Amino acid sequence: MLGVLALAVLLVLAVDRFYGHSTIAFAAAIIMLIVANAPMLRYNCPRCGKNAFFRGPFVVPWPNRSCARCGLDLDTVLPSQKR
């Protein structure tokens, strides 16, 4: 996720350098971010359905180890990310 964000920023900077200010580059970066975020939306708690990336009002770039709502251990039910 953070790598994709850096990639998107680099893409914007690169296009900015070659073509001047471009909203297309920004649009492409935003689309990339949405595509990169799509798998995150499937990381839901199997018991209560709460997304594992939401920690209260905050969105974290890594899934919670346990569900913030019902306390289910998500490490055992979700494919754990290598960190």
Query: For Zn ion, which is the closer residue by CB, 25 or 67?
Result: 67
Task: Report in angstroms how near the CB of residue 10 gets to Zn ion at its nearest.
Answer: 37
Task: Report in angstroms how near the CB of residue 45 gets to Zn ion at its nearest.
Answer: 3
Task: Report in angstroms how near the CB of residue 49 gets to Zn ion at its nearest.
Answer: 7
Footprint of Zn ion (CB under 5 A): 45, 47-48, 50, 67, 69-70, 72
Answer yes or no: are the C-beta atoms of 21 and 27 closer than 8 Å: no
